A and B are shown apart, each in its own frame.
Chain A
Amino acid sequence: MSPWWLLVVLLALAGLSLLAWSVRALDAPGAAAAFLVGLAVALAGDLGWLVLLSLFSVVGALVTWAGKRRKQQRRAAEARDGERGVRNVLANGTAALLAALSVFFVDASAAALAFATAVAAVTADTMASELGALSRGARRIVPPFEARPPGENGCVSWLGQASAAVGAGLIAVAAVPLLGIPLRLAWVPAVAGWLGCQFDSLLGATLERDARQADRPLSKEGVNFLASLVPAAVVLAAALYAGSL
């Protein structure tokens, strides 16, 4: 590994972490966690992997700030004025980190697909949550699919679904040049990432605890983590199986 390459990575990560902290996208512990996760991803994968993960961070911050006043009026805004912390960073970054680390154990192209899927899933979920909260109405994702206010756990809207598709697609397209994923396979992280968002909503409707369902087993961060881990693991397994044929 070239020391100059490492210097580029450290400069970029320091800049991104400090930028996120200075614009209140992350608190100090969250920025530190983002630095470490990004460093591990860059060392395991490549600079392109770090850029893809950073793309999620930028998109996530932008959609969090979009329509903030309207979300606050609906009480659907992210807490602490959208400033995220360690738990959120780890919830959204751990699956991608694990996928990046898998490059040491499995075929690199399979690991790249899994990594792109994990990033696509958290991007889709973040865009669906933040932009879906601006929709006029939403429905529960599980029967009896009753109408609910937008922004509630386990609810989906047309705006949220479209946002999720755009987010997953954006990451999938970016993964082609950044990760070297063949164009013919770009649909994999796009579809799997979008499905991960659906899985997030399903978990939110059934297992995520909130003020009304305090005895449920999963926290919001746990749901986010599983919703990115499961599609990434499925894609990794499928890619390894396909490669073995």
Chain B
Amino acid sequence: MAVTRIRNPLAFGVSLVLLVSATALGLVLHHDAELGAPGLEAVASDGGSVRLKGDLSPFQPPGTADWQPVREVLSNSTLWLRDAAVDDVLVTGVGGHAAGEDRIVHGAVVYAGAHPDHPGRTLLVVQAESVYEPFFAW
């Protein structure tokens, strides 16, 4: 006698709902940089892509010689990303309208080196591919 493959149609339906819910929530969290971001140090060393969240404010690099290597990778529009999780991140190649609170920056790390003003700390420069607001305030 053939065995019915689906033991319980209700459980089967509920399982699909759970999986769809998990997928949808995961996609939203990923969009809002709340999930799935690789370790910043690992990505920075490989020059990979990052997705960071924080407040963006205008930044003008100092004209000192120590900042010369950093200025070489900065474009005319550069912002400073303030975030509780990471320090010293500059975002370059963004429009001036991108400044504001609670922004998500997606882009490639183009500079990862010692901070010119603070030895022992790392300064990252991210070439922005996109800047957007999260769906939710998590």
A residues lining the B interface (CB < 8 Å):
2, 4-5, 7-9, 11-12, 14-19, 21-24, 47-48, 81, 180
Contact = CB atoms under 8 A, between A and B. Distances in A.
B38 A180 contact: yes
Interface in B92-138: 138
Contacts, number: 75
B21 A11 contact: yes
24 contacts: A2-B29, A2-B35, A2-B138, A4-B29, A4-B35, A8-B35, A9-B22, A11-B18, A11-B25, A12-B22, A14-B18, A15-B16, A15-B18, A15-B19, A15-B22, A18-B12, A18-B14, A18-B18, A19-B12, A19-B16, A22-B8, A22-B12, A24-B7, A81-B3
A113 to B, nearest CB: 15
A181 to B, nearest CB: 12
B136 to A, nearest CB: 9
Most chain B beta carbons < 10 A, residue from A2, A5, A11: A11
A70 to B, nearest CB: 15
Contacts of B7: 21-24
B34 to A, nearest CB: 6
B69 interface: no
A133 B14 CA distance: 34
B3 A15 contact: no
B11 interface: yes
A8 B5 contact: no
A57 to B, nearest CB: 13
Nearest to B36: A47
Given A2-B34, A22-B6, A24-B3, A8 B25 contact: yes
Instruction: State the main secondary structure of chain B at its contact with A.
Output: helix
Contacts of A5: 29, 34-35
Interface in B32-86: 34-36, 38, 42
B15 A19 contact: yes
A110 B38 CA distance: 16
Given A4-B34, A8-B25, A15-B18, A24 B5 contact: yes
